[in-house]
Amino acid sequence: MKENIMDLFNNRIVLIIIGFGILYLQKYFGKKDYKILGAILPLIFLIISILFILNGQIKTLWDVFMIFLSIFMALGSWLVGYESGKEKQAKELEKMKAKDYINK
């Protein structure tokens, strides 16, 4: 029995896995300091949201809330990764300075 691709996306577990994958990807982009790639996903969410609003598919306040929530979650995930990457970079710099100080 073949499943239609839309049936796959109607499965909530698959959507949750995709959502976590997207958030992980955003965190990875932030950690590796890919600023442009980290901005692409929220921008895509925003463009799709505008298209939905223009087509009249966004009808309730809940829909608007979910749109903004997804955008802020993507941005927040990128920011967490970015801060984590900065902390790691600062620790590495401290280690290098300590080694330089010892070797003098």
Taking the chain (104 residues) in consecutive chunks of 10 residues, what is each chunk's mean pLDDT?
58 75 82 75 81 81 82 82 83 84 74
Task: Report pLDDT for 9.
Answer: 56
Domain residue ranges in the chain: 5-103
Burial 24-47 (b: 16+ CB within 10 A, else e): ebbbbbbbeebeeebeebbeebee
Task: Report pLDDT for 68.
Answer: 83
Task: Report pLDDT for 86.
Answer: 83
